[in-house]
Amino acid sequence: MDIKGFSATPQTAFIGHQIEHHSEVASTNDIAIARGKAGAAEGTVVIAEHQTAGRGRYGRRWEAPPGKCILASVVLRHRLLQDQVSLPNLVGAIAITRAIRIKYRRNAQIKPPNDVRIKKRKVAGVLTELAYDTEQQAFFVLGFGVNVNITFADFPPELRETATSLRIASANSEDQDTEICRASLLHAILEGLEGTYLQLKSGETDLIMKQFEELREDESSDECLSFGSSLPI
């Protein structure tokens, strides 16, 4: 699915109702920060098929082949309190982890502070950056990358033992090469993101931390979740 075909989800009140698509950018976070400074509405989403200078924590590069990942950034205008500065990364990671669990029953887990992993291999990452608009109002951009349809051969040799994709993790003996619909996954992520973000805005820090602890990576290496597995609402 060409990400340019992505449209807003009716299940959100504001996130994803304004979407900006790009075939290639240096960084979706850079564009989202520029839009936020210019007054873009809360919930504006910047999506790209490819990034030439994507980055993660500590300025590490995020490498992704064109057309096989979700690369997105969201403008959010909640003014973070001092004790909330670390929470947006968790909010993003919770949304991604739950979307993967619910839609694909893979046992995705959060490796603090901002990675999502399946069977100890990274499938997604979150990067939050703070900025101020022209009125000196604080806002933040929540950027995330998800390895969706990357194949084993797409990964450089140095990442093959530490990274994975949803396509790789979902393969089974009956169907080894099923393409994942990026639009469907992105809808699920944005819907979950809005719910957890609203908890952040209302100061429900304890609830966010409870969800994080339930999704935090443990020693389990179960490949998938059973239908009876419970998830926080």
CB count within 10 Å of CB 233 equals: 7
28 part of a folded domain: yes
Q: What is the pLDDT of residues 16-26, one digit of tens each?
A: 999 999 999 99
d(CA 171, CA 158): 22
Taking 50 as the threshold, does the pLDDT of residue 130 lie above it? Answer: yes
With residues binned 3-state (H G I as helix, E B as strand, rest as coil), the percentages for the chain, rounded to 5, are 35, 25, 40
Residue 194 near residue 12 (C-beta atoms within 8 A): yes
3-state secondary structure at position 194: helix
Q: Which residue has the tokens 């604080």?
A: 138
108 part of a folded domain: yes
- Domain assignment of residue 192, given as a range: 13-215
130 part of a folded domain: yes
- Cis, peptide link before residue 113, omega less than 30° from 0: yes
H helices present in 17-144, as ranges: 28-37, 87-104
Distances in Å between the Cα of 109 and the Cα atoms of 191, 209, 216 are 19, 14, 5
pLDDT score recorded for residue 171:
84
How many residues are given for the chain? 233
Taking 60 as the threshold, does the pLDDT of residue 226 lie above it? Answer: no
124 part of a folded domain: yes
Residue 115 near residue 124 (C-beta atoms within 8 A): yes
Average pLDDT over residues 22-31: 94
157 part of a folded domain: yes
Average pLDDT over residues 98-107: 95
pLDDT score recorded for residue 227:
31
pLDDT score recorded for residue 4:
64
Q: What is the mean pLDDT of the chain?
A: 86
Please give the structure tokens belonging to residue 107: 């046992």
232 part of a folded domain: no
Residue 50's closest CA among 130, 139, 154?
Answer: 154
76 part of a folded domain: yes
Q: What is the pLDDT of residues 198-208, one digit of tens each?
A: 999 999 999 99
d(CA 192, CA 205): 16
Residue 185 near residue 144 (C-beta atoms within 8 A): no
Domain of 188, CATH number, reads 3.30.930.10
The number of folded domains in the chain is: 1
Maximum pairwise Cα distance, the chain:
56
pLDDT score recorded for residue 231:
26
Q: What pTM does this model have? A: 0.88
165 part of a folded domain: yes
